[in-house]
């Protein structure tokens, strides 16, 4: 019997022989260490139940409905939670079904890009669900953000004392990784906002309004992932054992910092947008003043041509020897005077 192995990025291994399987890894932990051997989900639970200090960590990546239903039957998961885990369209929340707690989080990762345009993707979000039972923890991941392979490796090699404390310790490690990614995304988004702000006040290359709106949409998506998680984390503090609660308090502190950052980003982006709109209005007013100034200068020429284009037989200047040259001189002098007046007033 072969365990379904996972790749380093958290996806099912194509060489595992289980085509289409959502199981990334299935392990039994006892006494702070991983028990040797390969386990199917059924075997893992039987092994864990045969020992008082053992539990199962089953990792899934985008499981199918039939596969999730089979696991739910083995582990006694509620059908409503199973439906949420498959569809992955939930807000962050914490629910309890009997002795099983169901935690939903939204994952986030920063998408590198050259410059922000109206089509740039800045933040990519996914979902992370955690079922925590007395002798098992099941993680269900949707999307590419917050892979768990490195979390598992870190717990197994460097934090045996933590993994020994049971399923809630694993839930903490996963939650901590998700929130750490929030912090990293917030720092990188802050750098993008600095560039946008510089562009708005740059005369050479002003940030276009569609790009600012796109950044605002991306920030709203990130906010939907971060802010609603505050309540589930606060509820967890009243559920977990005290020895695990101190770890979750640290996660809560990091989340609070990120929420404050996101709120400040929203205010900053609104200010940037208002500044850019004000600049557009000022530029339009400047253009209108220039057009009006040149129109006033052109009116002098139009007026002169209109007067002498009336074709009257008796006009004093028509028979004057210097009439034509004088007309040109007067028109040019008036035009130059008007140009200087408009130039001094800032209209040209």
pLDDT tens column, 134-167: 999 999 999 888 788 889 988 888 888 888 888 9
243 Cβ neighbours under 8 A, 6+ residues apart: 165
Name the residue among 132, 81, 99 with its Cα closest to residue 244: 132
Structure tokens at 188: 């990188």
Distance CA 128, CA 105 (A): 5
**pTM summary value:** 0.74
308 lies in the same domain as 328: yes
- The domain that holds 97 is classified in CATH as 3.30.460.20
218 lies in the same domain as 175: yes
Structure tokens at 95: 């629910």
H/E stretch holding 48: helix 41-49
How many structural domains comprise the chain?
2
Identify the pLDDT of residue 115: 74
- pLDDT tops 70 at residue 11: no
Q: Report CA 10 to chain centroid distance, whole Å.
A: 21
Q: Which of 279, 300, 315 is the last residue of a domain?
A: 279
218 lies in the same domain as 120: yes
Q: pLDDT digit string (tens) for 61-100?
A: 999 899 999 999 999 999 999 998 898 788 899 999 999 9
Q: Which of 279, 299, 330 is the last residue of a domain?
A: 279
Q: Say which residue the tokens 């299935």 belong to.
A: 26
236 lies in the same domain as 337: no
166 lies in the same domain as 290: no
Q: Which residues pair with residue 129 across a beta bridge?
A: 104, 140
H/E stretch holding 236: helix 230-236
Q: Which residues pair with residue 104 across a beta bridge?
A: 93, 129
* Residues 116/197, Cβ–Cβ less than 8 Å: no
Tell me which of 56-65, 86-95, 215-224, 272-281 is least confident: 272-281
- The domain that holds 336 is classified in CATH as 1.20.58
177 lies in the same domain as 315: no
Q: Can you give the residue range of the structural domain that contains 210?
A: 23-279
Average pLDDT of the chain is 83
**Other CB atoms within 10 Å distance of the CB of residue 155:** 23
214 lies in the same domain as 258: yes
318 lies in the same domain as 274: no
């Amino acid at each position: 019997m072969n365990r379904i192995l996972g790749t380093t990025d958290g996806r099912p291994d194509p060489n595992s022989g289980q085509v289409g399987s959502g199981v990334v890894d299935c392990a039994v932990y006892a006494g702070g260490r991983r028990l040797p051997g390969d386990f199917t989900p059924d075997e893992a639970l039987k092994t864990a139940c045969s020992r008082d200090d053992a539990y199962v960590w089953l990792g899934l990546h985008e499981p199918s409905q039939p596969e999730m239903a089979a696991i739910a039957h083995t582990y006694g998961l509620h059908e409503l939670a199973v439906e949420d885990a498959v569809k992955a369209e939930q807000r962050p929340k914490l629910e309890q079904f009997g002795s099983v707690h169901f935690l939903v989080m939204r994952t986030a990762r920063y998408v590198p890009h050259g410059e922000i345009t109206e089509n740039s993707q800045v933040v990519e979000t996914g979902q992370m669900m955690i079922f925590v039972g007395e002798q098992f923890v099941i993680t269900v991941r949707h999307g590419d953000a917050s892979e768990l392979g490195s979390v598992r490796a870190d717990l197994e090699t460097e934090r045996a004392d933590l993994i020994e404390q049971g399923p809630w310790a694993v839930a903490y490690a996963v939650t901590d990784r998700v929130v750490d990614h929030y912090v990293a995304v917030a720092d990188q988004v802050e750098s993008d906002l600095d560039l946008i702000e510089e562009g708005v006040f740059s005369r050479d290359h002003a940030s276009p309004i569609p790009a600012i709106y796109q950044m605002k949409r991306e920030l709203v998506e990130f906010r939907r992932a971060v802010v609603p998680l505050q309540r589930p984390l606060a509820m967890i503090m009243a559920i977990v054992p005290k020895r695990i609660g101190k770890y979750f308090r640290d996660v809560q502190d990091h989340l609070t910092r990120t929420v404050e950052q996101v709120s400040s980003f929203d205010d900053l982006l609104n200010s940037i947008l208002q500044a850019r709109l004000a600049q557009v209005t000022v530029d339009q007013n400047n253009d209108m003043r220039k057009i009006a100034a040149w129109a006033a200068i052109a009116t002098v020429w139009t007026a002169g041509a209109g007067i002498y284009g009336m074709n009257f037989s008796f006009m004093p200047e028509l028979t004057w020897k210097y009439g034509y040259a004088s007309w040109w001189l007067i028109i040019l002098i008036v035009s130059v005077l008007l140009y200087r007046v408009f130039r001094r007033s800032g209209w040209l």
